[in-house]
Homo-oligomer: A and B are copies of this chain.
Amino acid sequence: MEYRFARRMGCLPPSFLRELFRVSSQPGVISFAGGLPGSEHIDVEGLARASRLVMEEDGRSALQYSTTDGYLPLREYIADRYRRRLGIPARAEEIQIVNGSQQCLDLIAKILVDPGDPVGMERPGYLGAIEAFSLYEPVIHTVPLTDSGPDLASFSDLLARQPLRFFYGIPNSQNPSGRTYAGEYRKAIAELLEGTGTIFYEDDAFGELFFDGKPRLPVKRLLPEQGIMSGSFSKIVAPGMRIGWMYAPEPMLARFNAAKQASDLHSNFFCQVVLHRYLATHDLDAHVRGVSRIYGEHCRLMCDLLDDLMPPSLTHTRPEGGMFLLCTLPGGISSMKVFSEGVKEGVAVLPGAPFYVDGGGDDTIRLNFSNANIEAIKEGVARLARVISRLS
């Protein structure tokens, strides 16, 4: 039987990534293609203990249905952390628990975007956002992302042409580029947006992972009513629990909550209680400092090796945090070719084109440095250098 699908399904970019990931997970292949935090940093013992205690003390209610907004003590923990770390006057009433921050991308587009509505994002932009937004059929406008943030002239031009339903950005250690907005760019963006109808959607999946351990100024602090911010425990505690959150003004969160309820009633409640129990008895700051320091070592090593082993015409970003960096290949080399030749040589990279929603980017590759150890990084970059030198 032939099935007929909704028009929106035709808007989803073709997903060749699944095939890439399958190929890149062959034995013997060192993969810089994925987006996993380092498994060795998951505190399995601490989470096992929290899980045991929840089962003993609170199991019956933690395993029952719960409310859509999420476990109140966990929402209070998140709000308190915003107040303490970032100086934002967040309240639990402004926090909604979701299945990892990916679900925020879906639900925000669901509540804000009619087909044909204009939304903005960085170029290159996060692929998961492109996929989530595309299913609501917006017109996506991009602003080139420079080393200091979105190009301000383009940003200003875009806003002058029309108000956007929202502009989506990752100011801290962006995916895929690893770039962080400079402080003055954050202020300029807030000024340009202030008083327009455009929401600033600040995806902060990586804000805790600065190698220097210092938080950066959130745009949300400059645009309290116009800014919304998503976060996740995936990169700082454990991804497999799928627990993230949206932080937004209450009138917007009420609609977000209604959409969440229609989507899946509520997020896994047992893991919300376990996570809160874990956080209440562990020093997340210390844990995150340790992880960030190690990611920083990995990143510096990868940058140094790229500088030493690659032709000088290969350029790359120099992340201050996060899990990724982006390389621009020497003229004429296709990232798809680097991928296929790389796998033969035993190293996998992620071709950058899918991050460029309006085309281009075939000369870029994303490298992940959080889920490979020192030895793998040394050997993997050496293999990659051989591939690139052959293709140059």
How many angstroms between the C-alpha atoms of A51 and B277 in the bound complex? Answer: 15
CB of A269 closer than 8 Å to a CB of B: yes
How many angstroms between the C-alpha atoms of A18 and B105 in the bound complex? Answer: 25
Do B102 and A255 have beta carbons less than 8 Å apart? Answer: no
Do A251 and B3 have beta carbons less than 8 Å apart? Answer: yes
Do B63 and A47 have beta carbons less than 8 Å apart? Answer: yes
Do A63 and B42 have beta carbons less than 8 Å apart? Answer: yes
Do A103 and B240 have beta carbons less than 8 Å apart? Answer: no
The A interface is mostly helix, strand or loop, or mixed, namely: helix
Residues in chain B near residue A40, CB distance under 8 A: 60
Do A268 and B239 have beta carbons less than 8 Å apart? Answer: no
Q: How many copies of the chain does the oligomer comprise? A: 2
CB of A161 closer than 8 Å to a CB of B: no
What count of chain A residues pass the 8 Å CB interface test?
A: 77
Residues in chain B near residue A259, CB distance under 8 A: 9, 135
Residues in chain B near residue A5, CB distance under 8 A: 111-112, 255
Residue of B nearest to A270 (CB): B240
Given contacts A132-B262, A259-B135, whether A59 and B39 have CB atoms under 8 Å apart is no
Do A197 and B65 have beta carbons less than 8 Å apart? Answer: no
CB of A264 closer than 8 Å to a CB of B: yes
CB of A265 closer than 8 Å to a CB of B: yes
Residues in chain B near residue A225, CB distance under 8 A: 1
Give residues of chain A (220-255) contacting chain B, Cβ–Cβ below 8 Å.
Answer: 225-226, 234, 238-242, 249, 251-252, 255
Given contacts A55-B47, A239-B63, whether A6 and B113 have CB atoms under 8 Å apart is yes
Do B60 and A42 have beta carbons less than 8 Å apart? Answer: yes
Do B39 and A264 have beta carbons less than 8 Å apart? Answer: no
CB of A64 closer than 8 Å to a CB of B: yes
How many angstroms between the C-alpha atoms of A134 and B113 in the bound complex? Answer: 15
Given contacts A55-B44, A64-B239, whether A264 and B106 have CB atoms under 8 Å apart is yes
CB of A287 closer than 8 Å to a CB of B: no
Do A131 and B63 have beta carbons less than 8 Å apart? Answer: no
Residue of B nearest to A224 (CB): B1
How many angstroms between the C-alpha atoms of A358 and B271 in the bound complex? Answer: 38
Give residues of chain A (104-120) contacting chain B, Cβ–Cβ below 8 Å.
Answer: 105-106, 110-114, 117
Q: Measuring CB to CB, which residues of chain A are less than 8 angstroms from any residue of chain B? A: 1, 3-9, 12, 15, 35-36, 39-40, 42, 44, 47-48, 51-52, 55-56, 59-66, 98-100, 102-103, 105-106, 110-114, 117, 128, 131-132, 134-136, 165, 197, 199, 225-226, 234, 238-242, 249, 251-252, 255, 258-259, 261-271
Show 10 A/B contacts (Cβ-Cβ < 8 Å), sorted by A. A6-B112, A51-B52, A99-B264, A103-B264, A106-B262, A132-B262, A238-B270, A268-B268, A268-B271, A270-B271
| 6 interchain residue pairs of minimum CB distance | A48-B55, A44-B59, A63-B238, A240-B269, A99-B264, A63-B240
Extra pairs beyond A42-B63, A100-B265, A102-B263 (10, CB < 8 Å): A1-B226, A3-B199, A3-B249, A4-B112, A4-B197, A9-B111, A44-B55, A131-B262, A240-B270, A268-B271
